[in-house]
Chains A and B, each alone.
Chain A
Amino acid sequence: MATRIFGSGIRRREDPRLLTGSATYTDDISLPGMLHAAMLRSPYAHAKITRIATEAAQAAPGVHAVYTAADIEGVLQPMPCAWLLPDSDLKIAPYPCIAKDTVRYTGDIVAVVVAEDRYQAYDAIDAIEVDYEALPTVVDPEEATKDGAPQLHDDVPGNQAFHWVVAGGDADAAFENADVIVEERIHQQRLIPNAMEPRSAVAQYNQATGELTLWNTTQNPHIVRFLCSGVTGVPEDKLRVIAPEVGGGFGSKIAVYPADIATVFCAKTLGRPVKWTETRSENYIATTHGRDHVQHVQLAGTKDGKITGLRCTVYAGMGAYLSTAAPGIPTILHGLMLSGCYSVPAVKEDVYGVYTNAVPVEAYRGAGRPEATFMLERMMDLFAAKIDIDPAEIRRRNLLPRFEDGCDVITGLTYDSGDYPAALEKALNHIDYDDLRKQQATARDNNRYMGIGVSSYVEICGLGPSQVAGAIGFQGGLWESSIVRFHPTGKVHVFIGSSPHGQGEETTFAQIVAHEIGVDAGDVKVFHGDTDNTPMGWGTYGSRTTAVGGAALALTVRKIKDKAKVIAAHLLEAAAEDMEYEDGKFFVKGSPDKSKTIQDIALMAHLAWNMPAGVEAGLEASTFYDPPNFVFPYGVHSCVVEVDPETGQVDLKRYVALDDCGPQINPTIVEGQVHGGVVQGVGQALWEEAVYDDDGQLVSGSMLDYALPRADCLPEIEVLSTVTPSPHHPLGVKGIGEAGTIASTVTVYNAVLDALRPLGVTRVDMPFTPQRVWQAIQDAKGS
């Protein structure tokens, strides 16, 4: 091959259809006789429903049906929570598809209307009369645990959904013997994921066969089939879930949602196809949010800058109900990563999952890991300030040394491979850290407030060994699968259980096949997202598709290669063990001029005129790959900001992201993932917040009010990498989907606080709106 396909930033195969409007997203689907559903959602965050009158809505033009809780009683099971965290006193409050007597967040479904078109459905929604008796509300997770706080669910005292503990070493002793202790209260504000495609469902029921097809904006169609079958009673073999083109997810398209189930119910009940698509404002009050932690953190250390212990208590807002995977996010994906890249001898963390009158929380890009990295990296800066050493230096003194094949850490995990010191030095050199510190000193002399942030991170990805999944209460396996089918002309179809939705695996997976067996990447078509024609898979989230699904694919291609070798040997009248393979050709050792291409072999395998004894016709294989361990991508991010003390405006001037995801299959795609991830993390630091008022009303309830990053607010991100293969992965790859988001929020946070240090400001709650920063400066002046 002229160019190496593995590691080549080739153009994506997905793009032509996306660029010309010929891709089909869920809301683009139109079926004969299709009706449209709309949801009446509670305007109250907590209230009793005392009366619902639907007669006027039922009589409205075009309306086919209006459903309330009474209609689903005994027909639909409650919405499932599928992460049953063990040893945590987990209390799963019933989550009905349509609220019966009580609503618990603004967005709870109260009634469903089905009409001829969407305008009529929305008109009819307005004709439904509901009497509510308002109840007291609570939205702050820490407040919700206090005596006298409003109670959301009858059998959940103190609104405590769970209490989970992770501990290693003797943290209390570390604090007793510490030279230095630093403490901080950190608010990880609620965020709204904002995948650009609103959520949607189209359901079609065939009464004659009992088969139901659901097109759904989901990151994991097989999980939707599994859970939807349980909720609706449609047998799994008669339920087909299709994730067509999906316009981003970021965690918000993992859950199985009430509105999706309601759409299935309507289609099945009415015998007509039904579509439901949320509006953006509806997305804000009904599609899962992310983060929402109140963290109390303590770090113990020596006076020469070594960490000796970490202790923290986290109140994690869960919203009104537990979403599908919610309990695992502030616990397993957060607490186990507490010690980050550092050698930490003792940790203890208590995590309280708390019900609040807000939208249920789910995974949001990074999912638990940005919150863990934030705590640790913020404490490192506070520690450095306390003992007056440089933030980069304190990291140097604590980083784990290079390891190539496993490093046990205090939380019980074994990291796979890493060279954290090398990553730190490379990033610092690139940004010219020492010179920046000099520039900063000069700027301060001139009353300019420049700040520098630097953060290391390591994340847990490639979820994960299924045995571990079982031990941590995840109600599924976490393996991935693939089927590879060669056609007679040597063209290849690949069927995967993963469900990419913008990440470009149709391209990178074709590159894996091309790399492994020497076909042209353009000859490989990747199928995904349809439960009827792809093997089971557990979904695309947690940076696991390439890490787990990619391994499943590589191993399948290797099985085909083994079979091809046997066939080639037979055709060349040689022994299989004498065969060699190079660049798509099989030949007898020492005679490369006499060879069979994989295309020749594919044809012969299909004709089957002359197969070796005992070898089946065809050229096809499959693999169910269950990883032996997680993978642990890591990196170092650094940035420069300047704060205007007169206005509180933060100007992000430079951003450097160094990420190590192992060998890169397609560096262009890797870089794109880093860009997007970094900007989402920067968004949390500078602009984004789901703001609830005391009555549980979402004040930032539309795209007008929720400040998403825009093109003109950002500098060019400088992307670097190092390459440390994972020792246990067939391709060495680790995953890059979330990396950018893990460290970027705290990197910017630390930079802003670094800038404000001469002004005496030590903490500001995110996001850094000019008003907040200005106020913090005024408060510091006052004190």
Chain B
Amino acid sequence: MLFNSFEFIFVFLPIVLLLYFNIKSHRARLYLLLISSYIFYGYWNYKFVALLLLTTVVDFYIGLALHKREDPAARKRLLQFSVVVNLSILGFFKYFNFFIDSFYSMTSLFTSDPSRMFFLEIVLPVGISFYTFQSMSYIIDIYYKQTEPHKDFAAFAAYVALFPQLVAGPIVRHSDLVYQLEDSSRGKFNWNNFSQGIHLFVVGLSKKIIIADRIALAIDPALLNLSNLSTPEAWLCALGYTAQLYFDFSGYSDMAVGLGKMMNFEFPQNFNSPYKSKSITEFWQRWHMTLSTWLRDYLYIPLGGNKVSTLKTYRNLMITMILGGLWHGANWVYVVWGTYHGVILAIERYFKNRKIKIIPASLSLPFTFLLVMIGWVFFRAPNMTYALEWLDKMFLPDYTWSFFNFSAKVRDRFIGALVIGYFIIFYCKNTFEFDFKKIIVPRMAYLMGLLFIICILYFSKNSPFLYFQF
């Protein structure tokens, strides 16, 4: 089910909220959260609910077993088992064909006849990368004795599947959410949280529908016709996608945080005005923050982080970024995108350690933005040839000034969305900087009501969030 759908807004959410605040028993409320989350997830493809359940059951019991055992070897085996199960599921559904394809390409088995190649038609379960990471972090935390395991299966299952953040994050740590799920006072209706939740949800919905979707309507068809794009069009597509991705993904996160707030849950911040960053290092502290911290805590630091030799620190950085890139999808472009960011991070670290400033302070923001935008070209491209052609169009001008690839029907709204979008990006506060004391006033409620209805008028059956594919 999509947040931006009639089914969710007019049926699912009102029923869940109504029951949530009227059920007296805390246990029953947990079951409500669990069942509603499974319904929410099963709405796409009910078969994948079994997969979600499998991950949950395996990690729940391994968590308990880990807690009981003191023998380090046995504990390690249990951890390995959980990691293997989780990564095997993720690997099969997300990476099987990618590895097969890469294998064919690299070995003599490569053939130009696709019928001789072995591929499986695999449908990627929505949100698998998010809930797998969430569940894995739980087991790793128990292994390092940073958290206690759940004794209550329903609470743990609700943590893994909680619908507001199930399919596209934020990736919530067990330690951040479990005490909230166990707190029975969260079932009490709270006007303050509910009003803030509404506000955040409508802001997120508007980011998605009014900005991201308008941009997508113009750039998606244009990018289908890459070879005919003029240089300004190629730049507009890159600028458009940079804004689209931000508004689409941060819009989803705002909606998730808003939904959580309505039910008195606090989710972590996922975006902190990332395009205002003055370096790529800062960018990664502001973009998809819950993934960045996950990779830092469960990959970079266990690899040794920066507490090892300089060379190994760079190695750790590269491994983290490459795997972070691959997490986004089974395609070499994500590997290149991760490597690209890894290399820039390494360069920044090198100069920072030597206290050398290579970019003047006044240019650091636009320069970082440009680097990020170039990275998004790889991220958006279906393959490397495409990405290079796009960059070629951008940086080797053809001196034509045509905009034929943007249909007249969508051009004005695209430009409007782009202008508003970049104004918000560079000059407005992000949702976590809102001063709710000032904005939770009736006048603002009328404006939010208007925005909400405009979004509803633009609902389309075919407008999923970009990060669903990851």
- The judgment on whether A and B are partners is no
B-binding residues in A (CB < 8 A)? none
- The residues of B with any CB-CB pair to A shorter than 8 Å are none
